[in-house]
Amino acid sequence: MQLRYQYRVYPTPSQQNMLARSFGCARVVFNDALRARQDAHAAGVKLSDTDVQKQVITAAKRTPERAWLAEVASVVLVQSVRDSATAYRNWFDSLAGKRKGRKVGPPRFRSRKDTRQAIRLTRNGFSIRGNRKLYIAKVGEVKVAWSRDLPSEPSSVSIIKDAAGRYFASFVVETTDVPLPESDAEVGIDLGLTTFAVLSDGKTITTPKFLRRAERTLCKAQQALSRKQKGSNNRAKARVRVAKAHAKVADARKDWAHKNSTAIIRENQAVFVEDLCVTGLARTRLAKSVHDAGWGMFTRMVEEKAARYGRTFVKVDRFYPSSQLCSTCGVQDGPKPLSVREWQCAACGAVHDRDLNAAKNILAAGRAERRNACGGTVNPAA
């Protein structure tokens, strides 16, 4: 299994200048490759990946307009051309229905004003030296904050500069993960806004509300940005301050989601979650709270870690009436407004907490779906 290990790096001012050149050259080559493919398509000419590379790198370096491409490592330019080819391939596969997930649009031209800049290097363009520094071709040895050791020799590395001006090295490595010891516990999870998650075993995970807690700081930073003159150095500094505030919120949310998803995977052999339509919910008046909760990121982490550590992960159909069914007798009691947090079953008289009852129903539905080998409809109550 291939995984990414990301670390913070601290280039010197001269190394930052060289990285800025590399970012710019990679961006120009990517745009030239897109333009070459568009021109070839308009002229009805077939252009292979090798032809594009020769045109936008080899031949371009000999021209006065693109002679400065030779100042950066060639591996950066080659990988940029491959990125453009991958972008076109993904677009065509999406049009043909070969690519899973949402539809992908045509690749767009990159801009120097993009808040995120990145380059990728293969093994002939980088190495990890004995002094624990990362050597990057034509840049030099860069200091790395090693939070943990790499499990194996990396096959490639991406150098990333985010909107907050921070630099990261993202390594691609091969791992052979050992499955966790088997557990008898299985859990259903009902996600919400007031309480982030209610588990079928009675445990609850409170909503951290990282964005809501940081709103005052973000508001002040964004007001200061709006008052700066466009194009000025003070506006550029204020933009970085806003980006750092948002990065702090995003990092805290991601760290929290990693810790909680790991704890759930360690404790349970099977995890069942409702397949929520986050995109649709993000169009409602609850959009800010939905994005702040990070349901999609959390469920994706649980799914990836389940596959990595030999656990079972099942998504229950989003139209399954988990809040309407009685988890005791299985009678459907009809829809209820969100203000109803506790209700009594009219058939058996059992009193239910809305979220805990939904989590138990999700657990039952997930088990039924897991044991249903034919793929037909299964009654969880049965």
- For residues 293 and 184, what is the distance between their CA atoms, to the nearest angstrom? 29
- Spatial CB neighbours of 121, under 8 Å, sequence gap ≥ 6: 73, 75, 76, 79, 136, 137, 156, 157, 158, 159
Residue 248, phi-psi category: left (phi > 0), alpha (psi -120 to 50), beta (remainder): alpha
Cα within 13 Å of Cα(162), Cβ side: 20
Please state, in angstroms and rounded to a whole number, the distance separating the CA atoms of residues 358 and 333.
13
**Separation in Å, CA 318 to CA 60, 191, 323, 325:** 53, 12, 11, 14
Give the tokens for residue 354: 């809305």
Work out the end-to-end distance of the chain between its first and last CA atoms, rounded to an integer number of angstroms: 38
Strand partners, 170: 6, 158
Place of tokens 């929520």: 276
Q: How many helices (H) and strands (E) does the chain have?
A: 11, 14
Q: Among all residues, which ones are annotated catalytic?
A: 190, 274, 355
Q: Rounded to the nearest 5 degrees, what angle is found at the Cα of 329, between the Cα atoms of 327 and 332?
A: 75
For tokens 């293969």, what's the residue?
122
Instruction: Outline where the chain has alpha helix (H).
Output: 13-43, 49-53, 59-61, 74-96, 210-213, 215-226, 233-267, 278-281, 287-293, 295-308, 354-371
Contact 378, 362 (CB under 8 A): no
Cα separation values, 305 from 7, 264, 311, 376, Å = 20, 10, 8, 28
196 within 8 A of 238, measured Cβ to Cβ? no
Q: How far is Cα 382 from Cα 379, in angstroms, rounded to an integer?
A: 5
